[in-house]
């Protein structure tokens, strides 16, 4: 006997209810201000995209919008994530220091000499000291670009050589440190440093090996690259719009959770340290470039470290004046 329409509907609904829930296909937009060939795209976001698709069986993917396609310039990247201009954004904390005062304490020289070391330290203190600065977003990754040297148009290997030199630090926060080392801090985005070195607007800038070689090409305009200086760190974030994250299925959120935090942060560190290693190899194998690679002596490094300690006390005092009384505690926790 044929089933009635009501019976057929009941059977169909019962079958559907018994079937496992299948996540709807989702595509996440990712905004970054760096060009498509940048190592963060070819390492971190390439890995992220592959993992999303593999773990979700193709129901979760991402689309990268490089070179500021979803908004020009690096300054508004965190805001773009908060407001949902993009689902995920890549940015630099020092461009909006008021949002990340505690995170900024990872920028001054400390015990980390590479992106991987700095990332491990950031992850270790994140929950206790930094998490409240990211309450409006889902954190995918937090790492650094380690400024292991100074690209300059003059020798920077001693405090006397640095005296009066106009130097770009990684953030305005480190102004007291640059001043304690005898130099004059000048704020300038990395996109303008090549021209600044070329025209004499600046004498030097904290930089990575990767800044010296293509695509940045500081080696065309810098006569020196000085290493064994106190390392500064540009803190890099990858964050996701909270509402977009919460609106995903349980399955898709669990995939995001598995990739976020230590996994993505160390992959981001890998991209920066890897780019530096490749650039150093290029620098060592390239002849005829018009710069000198200089290493600060142990004696001079001790003098520079003493200047850093002096500058840090000024930084802690400034934090206290702004109502953050535990800045030294946070800095020490990062560098314990």
pLDDT band at residue 128 under the 50/70/90 scheme: very high
What tens digit of pLDDT does each residue of 292-313 get? Answer: 999 999 999 999 999 999 999 9
Domain 24-334: top CATH class: alpha beta
Q: Report the alpha-carbon distance of residue 282 to residue 279 in Å, rounded.
A: 5
At residue 18, the pLDDT reads: 43
At residue 219, the pLDDT reads: 97
Is residue 77 over pLDDT 90? Answer: yes
pLDDT band at residue 23 under the 50/70/90 scheme: low
Residue pair 168/188 in contact (Cβ under 8 Å)? The answer is yes
Neighbours of 143 (CB within 10 A): 31
Please, what is the Cα angle at 211 between 181 and 37, to 5 degrees?
150
At residue 24, the pLDDT reads: 82
* Mean residue pLDDT across the chain: 94
What tens digit of pLDDT does each residue of 179-224 get? Answer: 999 999 999 988 899 999 999 999 999 999 999 999 899 999 999 9
pLDDT > 70 in the chain, percent? 93
Is residue 232 over pLDDT 70? Answer: yes
- pTM, entire model: 0.90
Mean pLDDT of 227-253: 98
At residue 22, the pLDDT reads: 56
pLDDT band at residue 6 under the 50/70/90 scheme: low
Contacts of 166 (CB under 8 A, 6+ apart): 183, 184, 186, 201, 202, 203, 204
Strand partners, 88: 30, 240
Strand partners, 304: none
């Amino acid at each position: 006997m044929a089933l009635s329409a009501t019976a057929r509907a009941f059977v169909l609904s019962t079958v559907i209810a018994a079937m496992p829930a299948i996540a709807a296909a989702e595509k996440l937009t990712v905004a970054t201000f760096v060009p498509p060939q940048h190592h963060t795209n070819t390492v971190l976001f390439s890995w992220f995209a592959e993992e999303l698709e593999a773990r979700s069986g193709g129901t979760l993917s991402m689309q990268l919008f490089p070179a500021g396609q979803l908004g020009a310039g690096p300054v508004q990247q965190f805001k773009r994530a908060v407001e949902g201009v993009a689902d995920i954004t890549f940015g630099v904390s020092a461009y909006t220091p008021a949002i990340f005062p505690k995170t900024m304490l990872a920028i001054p020289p400390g015990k980390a000499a590479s992106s991987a070391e700095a990332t491990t330290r950031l992850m270790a203190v994140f929950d206790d000291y930094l998490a409240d600065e990211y309450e409006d977003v889902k954190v995918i990754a937090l790492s650094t670009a380690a400024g292991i040297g100074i690209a300059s148009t003059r020798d920077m290997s001693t405090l006397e050589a640095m005296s009066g030199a106009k130097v770009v630090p990684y953030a305005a926060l480190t102004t007291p440190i640059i001043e304690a080392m005898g130099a004059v801090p000048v704020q300038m985005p990395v996109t303008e440093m090549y021209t600044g070195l070329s025209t004499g607007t600046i004498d030097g800038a904290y930089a990575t090996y990767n800044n010296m070689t293509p695509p940045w090409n500081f080696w065309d305009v810098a006569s020196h690259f000085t290493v064994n200086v106190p390392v500064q760190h540009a803190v890099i974030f990858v964050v996701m719009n909270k509402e977009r994250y919460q609106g995903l299925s349980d399955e898709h959120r669990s995939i995001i959770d598995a990739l976020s935090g230590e996994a993505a942060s160390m992959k981001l560190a890998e991209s920066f340290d890897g780019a530096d290693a490749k650039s150093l190899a290029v620098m060592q194998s390239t002849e005829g470039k018009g710069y000198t690679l200089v290493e600060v002596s142990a004696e001079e490094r001790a003098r520079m470290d003493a200047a850093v300690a002096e500058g840090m006390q000024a930084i802690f005092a400034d934090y206290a004046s702004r109502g953050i009384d535990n800045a030294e505690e946070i800095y020490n926790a990062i560098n314990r």
